[in-house]
Each structure stands twice: as C-alpha cells, then as structure tokens.
C-alpha cells in the first residue's frame, strides 16, 4: 500500500502524567501525533506499543485520526511505539519508524525566545532535581542552572546566555539517581 513513507516517523512525542507527588505505576501517558497518509485509501491507523524494541504487546485501533494518547504507562519502564495504517479491505501497512522512550526519564525540549534566549522545558520524575548543562563542543559541560520537576511533570528554564554562543547543546543530570 505504500504507507511506510508517510509513517516515516512519529513527529511529536510529549510525556504527560497525572499530578501526584509519587510515581505510582500507571501514572504516565504519552500523546503521539503523526503525519497522515497522503493517499485517499487510508481509513484508519493502529498504534502498537510494548516493553522492548519490536515487541508490541498492545494494539489500539484509533480510527482515522493522527493523534492518540496511550495511558497507563509505568514511570521508569521502557516503552516502544510504532504506527500502521490500514485501508477499507483491512490491508495494513508496514510499521512506522519506532520510537522508544522511558516515561518519567528526563527530557529537554528547546524553543527559542524572541531575544535569542533558549527556553528549556525539562520533563522528568516528579520531585527530582536536575542540573542543566550546556556545551559548545561536547567536550566540556557547564552547569547553567538546576530545576526541580513539580506535580505538572515539567518545568521551564531560560538560558539567558544562549544568544552569546553560535552553537549550544544541552543535557540534564539527575542529582537524585
């Protein structure tokens, strides 16, 4: 059916979880969004996920939408996700590229502010403190701040010095492993 090309990757992955002080099993969810098929023969999509690469123990038929939220994920446990498309006859495409992640593990999303500053959104385990580190060359990392993830599961930090560097890379370090 040629669905593999449009399912080349899941474009948007956002970890969400309920606002709780502890990290009980099943408190995490992930919202997936992907590009729809450019052809008119697709009538729906299936979301596959499981605990190991290529091992999908769960399947959800999501219908003809290009976003889906998978709930009931365990913080700290790996999850692998892929999507397929199907037509009216039930013919299913190959799997999309797989996305692997660990709910609750630290992640950094970066967006630029108008003044050239980098706004870092850190997602991670509730109540954990993460050092934010920056580098220009991957050789020397400098701590530029620290954040503690609150009940919402993420926190923003603005790198006021980002505009002073032609290239800047970021990472987090959990201070409470």
Higher pLDDT, 5 or 155: 155
Per the structure, the complete domain to which residue 38 belongs is given by 10-101
- The per-residue pLDDT for range 87-142, each reduced to its tens digit, is 999 999 999 999 988 877 778 889 998 888 999 999 887 788 999 999 999 899 99
Asked if the structure places residue 156 within a domain, the reply is yes
Asked if the structure places residue 164 within a domain, the reply is yes
Asked if the structure places residue 3 within a domain, the reply is no
Q: What are the C-alpha distances in Å from 139 to residues 108, 133, 159, 162, 173?
A: 19, 12, 19, 18, 16
pLDDT at 151: 79
Same domain, 77 and 117: no
Query: Number of folded domains in the chain?
Result: 2
Asked if the structure places residue 167 within a domain, the reply is yes
Asked if the structure places residue 4 within a domain, the reply is no
Report whether pLDDT(83) > 50: yes
Asked if the structure places residue 5 within a domain, the reply is no
> Quick check: pTM over 0.85?
no
Residue 90 region by backbone torsions, left for phi larger than 0, else alpha for psi between -120 and 50, else beta:
left
Q: Residues 36-57: what's their mean pLDDT?
A: 92
Terminal CA-CA length for the chain: 46
- 91: domain CATH number? 2.60.40.10
Q: Which two structure tokens, joined as six digits, stand for 107? A: 């992640």
């Amino acid at each position: 059916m040629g669905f593999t090309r449009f399912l080349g990757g899941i474009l948007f992955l956002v970890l969400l979880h309920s606002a709780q002080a502890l990290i009980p099993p099943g408190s995490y969810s992930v919202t997936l969004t992907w590009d729809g098929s450019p052809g008119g023969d697709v009538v729906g999509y299936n979301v596959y996920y499981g605990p190991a690469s290529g091992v999908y123990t769960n399947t959800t038929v999501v219908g003809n939408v290009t976003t889906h939220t998978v709930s009931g994920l365990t913080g700290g446990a790996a999850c692998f996700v892929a999507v397929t498309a199907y037509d009216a006859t039930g013919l299913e495409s190959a799997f999309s590229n797989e996305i692997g992640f660990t709910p609750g593990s630290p992640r950094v999303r970066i967006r630029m502010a108008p003044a050239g500053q980098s706004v870092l959104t850190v997602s991670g385990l509730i109540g954990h403190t993460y050092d934010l580190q920056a580098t220009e060359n991957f050789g020397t990392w400098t701590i530029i701040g620290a954040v503690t993830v609150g009940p919402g599961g993420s926190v923003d930090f603005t790198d006021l010095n980002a505009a002073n560097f032609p290239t800047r890379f970021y990472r987090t370090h959990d201070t409470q492993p």
